[in-house]
Structure 1
Amino acid sequence: MENPETPFVGTGPLDASFDLLARQEAADQALTALRSDIAEVKSRLDRQHRADSRLPLGGSTSPQSSSFTENYLRRGQEAELKSLTIGAPADGGYAVPTQLDARIAERLTAISPIRAIAQVVQTSTADYRKLISLGGTVSGWVSESAARNATATPSFAEIVPPSGDLYANPSASQQMLDDAAFDLESWLAQEIATEFGRAEGAAFVSGTGTNQPSGFLSTPIASTADATRAFGTLQYLASGDAATLGTAADGLLIDVVMTLKAGHRQGAVWVMNAKTLSAVRKLKDADGAFLWQGSLIDGQPDRLLGYPVVEAADMPDVAAGATPIAFGNFQNGYIITERFGTRLLRDPYSNKPFVNFYATRRIGGQVLDSEAIKLVKIAAS
């Protein structure tokens, strides 16, 4: 007699076929569930990517930068910064993450005309020094077995670019900060870079050297040639007229180019403001051809006598005694030093209901090689 509680287990081919179909159906159901889980995870990642992809300069937000933005910049939670910063200066503030600092530096280069053509050095200390060789080493020719006499000892000059703390203080309302769609990092980088660019652009041209860079137009000038002029003094060529560029301005500009040493002419540029550019663009050579050569390629600068022209709003206008035109290799001729890292202090109290972001950056600058830059001076001689 059969036990009713014992299930029938078949052993024939038909039973094996039913068993195979049941297992295949279970596998299909498991695969369908797995695909659904994968689609859900992908959907979450896509939503997160769209929420975090507000980066106009490219790249992705690092966890450090994101935490700094969300916890400190938006909400003012300073406790979150203990593991993110290297410390705070005496007057408060924190070193911003590398991601945000790189944004500021990139936009600053695009805004500041002299920074874009000069030599920029990142330093870890406020005191940067550089030795410049003034020549003096004597060489000679000898035979293979002849004695080598001692050569003269080269002389050096030490360059210590004066520097100062450059600051910006953009403001945003708390309502803007609370808006998740507001790209705080991009806005902050743009505001800081714009203020920094405006201030440092003037300092690199005519800075006094007291708590700020020493501008190249603040450097002593003389009309003597490179071989006889004192180190650290720029050479100028007079326009031949006490108040204008003179009637022979085309020949003057050619003389300026040829006065610069051949090695410095590789990479040299013209620097002047818009008003001076307007006057220079009207100049013609003896055959009636314009000296100015407009660029035929998008993104490439216009050229004057074959060399790029950089417009710097802080250059002086054409006037008696002014030096409105500079020509030279600024990579060799002018050095900009900056202590790496922007400091930032969130201040919600001074300008309520707005939140101020007080940013500082230590920047210095000075003429590096006084033979690499030439000036045009508005003077009779």
Structure 2
Amino acid sequence: MAIEKKDIEEVASDLKGVFEDFKKKNDQELEAIKSEKGKLGDQVEKLNEKLGDIDKLKAELEKELKAAKRPGVTGGEGVDEHKTAFYQFLRKGVDDGLADLERKAVQTTTNPDGGFAVPEELDRTLLELLKDESPMRNVCSQITVGSPDYKKLVNLGGAGSGWVGETDPRPTTGTPTLAQLQATMGEIYANPQATQTSLDDVFFNVEDWISTEVAREFAEKEGHAFLLGDGSKKPKGILANTLTTEADKDRAFGSLQKILSGQAGNFSGDNLIDLIFSLKKGYRNGALFMMTNLTQSKVRKFKDSEGNYLWQPGLQLGQPSTLLGYGIEENEDMPEAEADANSILFGNFKRGYLIVDRMGTRVLRDPYTNKPYVGFYTTKRTGGMLLDSNAIKALTLSA
């Protein structure tokens, strides 16, 4: 069924109605608590949950509408032949001439023992699906490279300067400090299985099935690594870096600043404001919050001193829901609101973290190991690195 603008407008209307009901019930509950006459907690929580579901539905509908309007990828010289031969390889295991077509299409050396390179169009589709599935790919910068590793030079400043009189000598100042960053890389794999009977069925879309299955597996593993990975055979995640309470001017490059909530396992709206303004003004343009669904349900109840809710629903097409005027990226890999947990991140993730993909996804067809199933051992080399440790801040729920 095609997604239309009016479908999203109907969901947005529902979102507005539920939000008004939620505010009314939550305000009644607060008044009831004050007057000790009882609670409306169950109704508030049900409306809060429904609010989250409708908000998520609106975001998914907008994503589908955007995908439907995305132009198709046009093939270059040799690309169409490569695609046809590759799909024949997936269905029948026939690889006659595939190695030569791969070399022409992707201009890379071929290693049949390691499988065949996925055609460019399918590889791009896979990355698009990964972006849709992974919260980290939605908000972080991404780059595709042709080498197994990636390094980047960063200027840390420190050239030095001073004041002099008109005729005073000009002493030499210090040189700028350069640091070399290197992405921690790892190979991620998936091995979806299908029967040969299903592969022989002309109505079975094998390329779409592999893209979806692999994207789901990769996105789950990748997303966790980009946030929490320890850097051993996998990317080093944002929260795996050193966290300290030192401000930007005092903190060592490569370590993140954490803002303490002052309450073990809990936080307030004032903490969120402190978190926002711990980020320099230049980073706040394009910044957003990252938290779990449960943490988001908690912040929906927060109000300012004038009784206005800090969370506001996005009621227009393309307008996301906001918290204190900033977007929210829901990520279930984030720590929940517990004592000493880094439960909320805020920052400009595109400036703060880089995801690195090595060009080409490879597939090895295996009809022997798990008969009667055919396995498609799919591998991709990917990595990540913290680009700018001033661009992302963490709220730590500690006293």
TM class by shorter-chain length? Answer: 0.7 to 0.9
2:360 matched residue in structure 1: 341
Deviations 1:64-91, CA, capped at 9 Å, x for gaps: 3432343211110122312122444485
1:360 partnered with 2:379:
yes
Q: 1:328 Cα deviation (Å)? A: 0.4
Q: Is the 8 A contact 1:326 1:376 kept in 2?
A: yes
2:87 matched residue in structure 1: 70
Q: 2:259 aligns with which of 215, 237, 250?
A: 237
Alignment CA distance shift 1:372-1:78 (3 Å): same
Structure 1 CA distance for aligned equivalents of residues 131 and 167 of structure 2: 54
Amino acid aligned to 2:358: R
1:228 partnered with 2:253:
no
1:84 matched residue in structure 2: 101
Q: How does 1:183-202 map to 2 (within 5 A)?
A: 183-202=205-224
- Aligned to 1:134, the other structure's residue is in SS state strand
Amino acid aligned to 1:342: T
Q: Is the 8 A contact 1:270 1:326 kept in 2?
A: yes
Taking structure 2 as the reference length, the TM-score comes to 0.76
1:120 partnered with 2:142:
yes
1:260 matched residue in structure 2: 279
Unmatched 5+ stretches in structure 2: 1-69, 103-107
2:195 matched residue in structure 1: 173
Alignment CA distance shift 1:178-1:379 (3 Å): same
1:279 matched residue in structure 2: 298
Larger radius of gyration: 1
Higher share in helix:
2
Q: 1:141 Cα deviation (Å)? A: 8.9
Taking structure 1 as the reference length, the TM-score comes to 0.79
2:351 matched residue in structure 1: 332
- Aligned to 1:243, the other structure's residue is in SS state coil
- Aligned to 1:369, the other structure's residue is in SS state coil
Q: Is the 8 A contact 1:107 1:189 kept in 2?
A: yes
2:61 matched residue in structure 1: none
Structure 2 CA distance for aligned equivalents of residues 145 and 351 of structure 1: 84
Alignment CA distance shift 1:144-1:98 (3 Å): farther
- Aligned to 2:233, the other structure's residue is in SS state coil
Structure 1 CA distance for aligned equivalents of residues 362 and 192 of structure 2: 14
Q: 1:110 Cα deviation (Å)? A: 1.1
1:211 matched residue in structure 2: 233
Q: Is the 8 A contact 2:82 2:98 kept in 1?
A: no
1:101 partnered with 2:118:
no
Alignment CA distance shift 1:324-1:303 (3 Å): same
Deviations 1:260-291, CA, capped at 9 Å, x for gaps: 01111111111111111111111111111110
Q: 1:323 aligns with which of 338, 342, 350?
A: 342
Structure 2 CA distance for aligned equivalents of residues 242 and 91 of structure 1: 54
Q: Is the 8 A contact 2:259 2:275 kept in 1?
A: yes
- Aligned to 1:253, the other structure's residue is in SS state helix
Structure 2 CA distance for aligned equivalents of residues 236 and 294 of structure 1: 28
1:44 matched residue in structure 2: none
- Aligned to 2:176, the other structure's residue is in SS state coil
Alignment CA distance shift 1:74-1:231 (3 Å): same
Q: Is the 8 A contact 1:65 1:99 kept in 2?
A: no
Give runs of ≥4 in structure 1 deviating > 3 Å.
Answer: 56-62, 86-91, 138-151
Amino acid aligned to 1:284: K
- Aligned to 2:124, the other structure's residue is in SS state helix
Amino acid aligned to 1:253: L
Structure 1 CA distance for aligned equivalents of residues 159 and 355 of structure 2: 28
Amino acid aligned to 1:355: V
1:45 matched residue in structure 2: none
- Aligned to 1:355, the other structure's residue is in SS state strand
Structure 2 CA distance for aligned equivalents of residues 237 and 308 of structure 1: 19
Q: How does 1:25-64 map to 2 (within 5 A)?
A: 58-59=72-73, 62-64=79-81
- Aligned to 1:195, the other structure's residue is in SS state helix
1:130 matched residue in structure 2: 152
1:39 matched residue in structure 2: none
Structure 1 CA distance for aligned equivalents of residues 318 and 368 of structure 2: 44
Alignment CA distance shift 1:297-1:75 (3 Å): same
Comparing 71-80 with 214-223, which one deviates more in the overlay?
71-80
1:157 matched residue in structure 2: 179
Q: Is the 8 A contact 1:68 1:97 kept in 2?
A: no
Q: Is the 8 A contact 2:140 2:351 kept in 1?
A: yes
Q: 1:143 Cα deviation (Å)? A: 11
Amino acid aligned to 1:235: Q
Q: Is the 8 A contact 2:86 2:119 kept in 1?
A: no
- Aligned to 2:101, the other structure's residue is in SS state coil
